Chain A
Amino acid sequence: MTQQQTGGDVRLTGISKTYGSFAAVKPLDLTVPQGSFFALLGASGCGKTTTLRMIAGLEEATTGTVSLGGRDITGLPPYKRPVNTVFQSYALFPHLDITENVAFGLRRRGIKSVRKQVDEMLELVQLGDFAKRKPHQLSGGQQQRVAVARALINHPQVLLLDEPLGALDLKLRRQMQLELKRIQTEVGITFIHVTHDQEEAMTMADTVAVMNGGRVEQLGAPADLYENPRTTFVANFLGTSNLIEGEVVSAGTEIVVAAGGGKLRLPTDRCTAPTTNGGKLLLGVRPEKISLAHADDADAIADGRNRVTGRIVDSSFIGVSTQYVVESPAGKALHVYEQNVERRAGLVVGAEVVLHWNPAHTFGLDAAQDIDAGVETVEDAA
């Protein structure tokens, strides 16, 4: 990480926001370490943007405090906070050219010679040739970079990004994700990034906080969240999970669960829910961890693997992989992603198959939750 002149952690303590009787953000505690790329991930209306706006000072917190490097900034107006925001709509000033847009923050703080800094900043976002243009003469991606430059030139202790890539098309979005990541590494400022795009959050951030219904559901490194979701919401919202309901048969170092007419096992340390014999439990496994075998070849499956029988109801060829949907007594629609290494002739729609996977790849969740929480119903909610 680059050397930092000033800085410190962002610490939210018991912060909440209510509008009338509606609680947009329920009291939450959150610490964002200095210099990290932190993502607040959630569906629209989960309170992530409100949380960001409370850090910026654009929204007054109903309860709780915001502190920055140990200094309480809860009562400070936005123009006195050492944080800057990149807005979703960019909010570039339409009456000013790019130079003046970028110089705005410096000028307001009484800095007279802005030329050199503005040029450097436009160079950083690769827009040196556009200094004299007006915002409306730039493309969406260029406007987005101007918005980043306009915020970064002030050397804020924290840069807040509110769905900054939401308005861009997919290809440009991928490109800007890498760009933002590059800039963050280069300047070493804490970035807090709000997004509803789980892939975006996982690609860019060191730490992701998954928000749902005004609360933080789970917080951790992307890989940790993906492998060890603690709630059904996280399991379904981050990628796809196969969740199978079963009944606990025995629990030791390994939990054995009866589900779909067979027995499935998982390591005890991968189960976050309390287990009692005879109690219900949700078993989860990611689609890419599952292997498919035709029912005729079932004998060839190694011992000690979890098995579920079923019938293929749908298969789609994606290129690198083929995605199967399997109907089984254990679950209505189990997803399986198979790498396209070899052509698998027998695996067609209607074929009887056996799904098998390493028990170590199974995680356990509390069965008292909604099994479909966080499932994206609309294709590409962006």
Chain B
Amino acid sequence: MPVLRWIRRNLIVIAGLLTLAYMILPNVVVMVFSFNKPNGRFNYAWQRFSLDAWKDPCGVADMCGSLSLSLQIAVWATVGATVLGTMISFALVRYRFRARGAINSLIFLPMAMPEVVMAASLLTLFLNMGAQLGFWTILIAHIMFCLSFVVTAVKARVMSMDPRLEEAARDLYAGPVQTFLRVTLPIAAPGIAAGALLAFALSFDDFIITNFNAGSTVTFPMFVWGSAQRGTPVQINVIGTAMFIIAVMVVVVGQLIANRRKNSAR
């Protein structure tokens, strides 16, 4: 049977495409419904095509405020977690010191612990310290749980780095600062970038920990959650679609640059 043979030969491709469809389908639904004009407050059934929401993305009260807050927190959490996480990774891989083993395992605790538990215990901590819940408590919490992901990504990269490269740089008249900027950082960059992207994505859409420690502050995921009780504005889909497209574009541009570099080196 030629059909069966064709299927057998392309089984891996078929499985791959099905998996891809499984992952992409929810995003497609979000995208399609961003062009919907729902009757009533809930955007759950397709009515008719409209560009209203795209023309007025901030048309819903408080939504763009919460979006901007979430972006700010995500940016600062990414910066904080990436800088700290990179330093921790280098310390763990390159140096031998007391409690290194303990730190090595403790750093992964935030990844392993159930988020609700961590959220509740953080709240207890903040309340006991008399901290004012809001932007700063959210930021501190985000940096904390992003750290372990950054460390995972950067550590893998640093471990595969040959320490002789830095010795070679020092041997070739590069002082400590030059060695770090010219050799260490460029070689570790892919790991650091991966960690930073992960941190940004995790911080931007975190709900549980944020909800516990936000006080009266409302981030974008909290806004979406809150509005889902009373009706879902189409603008949520617009923001979701825009974020998805931006993320895809970042990946594509990154790939293009990498490919061009590879080709020019040839």
Interface residues of A (CB under 8 A from B): 56-58, 77-80, 83-85, 87, 89, 91-95, 97, 104-105, 108-109, 132-134, 137, 150-151, 154
Contacts and interface: CB of A to CB of B under 8 A. Distances in A.
A307 B222 CA distance: 99
A93 B170 contact: no
B168 A87 contact: yes
B172 A104 contact: yes
Contacts of B165: 91, 93-94
Nearest to B167: A58
Contacts of B167: 58, 78, 85, 87, 91
Contacts of A133: 265-266
B187 interface: yes
A181 B37 CA distance: 81
A94 B184 CA distance: 11
B228 to A, nearest CB: 47
A79 B164 contact: no
B190 to A, nearest CB: 10
Contacts of A77: 170, 175
Q: Which of A57, A83, A105 has the largest number of chain B CB atoms within 10 A? A: A105
A79 B173 contact: yes
Nearest to A89: B164
B56 interface: no
15 contacts: A58-B167, A58-B171, A77-B170, A78-B170, A85-B167, A85-B171, A91-B164, A104-B172, A104-B174, A104-B182, A105-B172, A108-B172, A108-B182, A137-B266, A154-B173
B187 A78 contact: no
Contacts of A89: 162, 164
B171 A97 contact: no
Nearest to B189: A95
Contacts of A93: 165, 168-169, 183, 187
Q: Which of A58, A83, A93, A137 has the largest number of chain B CB atoms within 10 A? A: A93
Given A79-B173, A109-B173, 12 more contacts: A78-B171, A83-B171, A84-B171, A89-B162, A91-B162, A91-B164, A91-B165, A93-B165, A94-B165, A95-B186, A108-B174, A151-B172
Contacts of A109: 173
Contacts of B174: 79, 104, 108
Contacts of A132: 265
Contacts of B182: 104, 108
B164 A87 contact: yes
Contacts of A97: 265
A109 B178 CA distance: 11
A170 B173 CA distance: 33
A56 B164 CA distance: 13
B168 A95 contact: no
A97 B186 CA distance: 13
Contacts, number: 68
Contact of A91 (B168, B175, B178): B168
Interface in B154-196: 162, 164-165, 167-175, 178, 182-183, 186-187
B4 to A, nearest CB: 43
A243 to B, nearest CB: 40
Interface of B: 162, 164-165, 167-175, 178, 182-183, 186-187, 265-266
Contact of B187 (A85, A95, A134, A154): A95
A109 B164 CA distance: 20
Nearest to A56: B171
Nearest to B183: A93
A104 B179 CA distance: 11
Q: Which of B171, B178, B183 has the largest number of chain A CB atoms within 10 A? A: B171
The 3 closest A-B pairs by CB, nearest first: A105-B172, A91-B168, A91-B164
A133 B186 CA distance: 18
A82 to B, nearest CB: 10
A150 B174 CA distance: 14
Contacts of B168: 85, 87, 91-93
Q: Which of B162, B165, B172, B173 has the largest number of chain A CB atoms within 10 A? A: B172
A89 to B, nearest CB: 6
B261 to A, nearest CB: 9
A87 B266 CA distance: 25
A150 B183 CA distance: 15
Contacts of B169: 93, 104
Given A58-B167, A93-B183, A95-B186, A134 B265 contact: yes
A58 B172 contact: no
Contacts of B265: 97, 132-134, 137
Contacts of B187: 93-95
Contacts of A154: 172-173
Contacts of B175: 77, 79
A80 B174 CA distance: 9
B29 to A, nearest CB: 42
Contacts of B172: 79, 84, 104-105, 108, 150-151, 154
Contact of A79 (B162, B171, B183, B266): B171
Contacts of A108: 172-174, 178, 182
A184 B162 CA distance: 28
A146 to B, nearest CB: 12
A94 B160 CA distance: 13
A104 B162 CA distance: 18
A134 B162 CA distance: 17
A89 B174 CA distance: 19
B168 to A, nearest CB: 4
A83 to B, nearest CB: 8
A368 B265 CA distance: 61
A83 B172 CA distance: 9
A79 B166 CA distance: 11
A137 B265 CA distance: 9
A291 B231 CA distance: 105
A130 B175 CA distance: 28
